[in-house]
A and B are shown apart, each in its own frame.
Chain A
Amino acid sequence: GEDVEQSLFLSVREGDSSVINCTYTDSSSTYLYWYKQEPGAGLQLLTYIFSNMDMKQDQRLTVLLNKKDKHLSLRIADTQTGDSAIYFCAESRGGGFKTIFGAGTRLFVKA
């Protein structure tokens, strides 16, 4: 199918790790992205990974890519209340500008 799929909700306690999962469809996708959207704001690029990589770490964020299963995950270590937001997974189709976004995962962080 055409869709990038991700679960709609995730709830974690402050200080725990959050793992947000995503499956994509295009095996030729060159780049895969994670964006964050806070209330009333636009999407903010968090990180991206090139399709020939398995893992990328950036401070509290770890991205894992399983190309065989077309599965992407975002792990947020030591989750804080400020991490509460909607997280979008996205893929660049056909190696070009057309980026397909998932529906977003709403992360709730309980104090």
Chain B
Amino acid sequence: DAGVIQSPRHEVTEMGQEVTLRCKPISGHNSLFWYRQTMMRGLELLIYFNNNVPIDDSGMPEDRFSAKMPNASFSTLKIQPSEPRDSAVYFCASSPGRSYEQYFGPGTRLTVT
């Protein structure tokens, strides 16, 4: 099993640019989560999907952030326009649902200058 796959692993962009982060969950998992991790705020849940449907997006910071899950094997997190305070490591995780344990990807380190 390849585990959760995220791309890109690193992204450096200028303020105002659009950023798209991608995630492929583990095959057969029916839930997908997007988190953001910073030193100041720790690990924050941004949004999660169950069976491709967004269930809770209360953690999405503002309208500049959007997430989609068009099918069971792919999800995107988009930031438009990006700002320096969006700099963080963004993790995607998936869960098979049995005991709600989550399997994390390696993360995307985003730097907005």
Q: How far is the CA of A98 from the CA of B99 in the complex (A)?
A: 12
Contact A97 B107 (CB under 8 A): no
Cβ of B101 within 8 Å of any chain A Cβ, yes or no, is yes
- Asked whether A45 lies within 8 Å of B102 as measured between CB atoms, the reply is yes
Residues of B within 8 A of A43 (CB): 43, 91, 93, 102, 104
- B-side interface residues, number (CB < 8 Å): 23
B112 beta carbon closer than 8 Å to chain A: no
Within 8 Å CB of B56, what residues of A?
98
Is B104 a contact of A98 with CB atoms below 8 Å? no
User: 8 Å CB contacts to A: which residues of B86-113?
Assistant: 91, 93, 95, 97, 99-107
User: How far is A2 from B9 in the complex, measured between Cα atoms in Å?
Assistant: 31
> Residues on A close to B: CB < 8 A?
30-31, 33, 35, 41-45, 48, 50, 88, 92, 96-99, 101, 103-104
3 closest Cβ contacts across the A-B interface? A42-B104, A43-B104, A92-B100
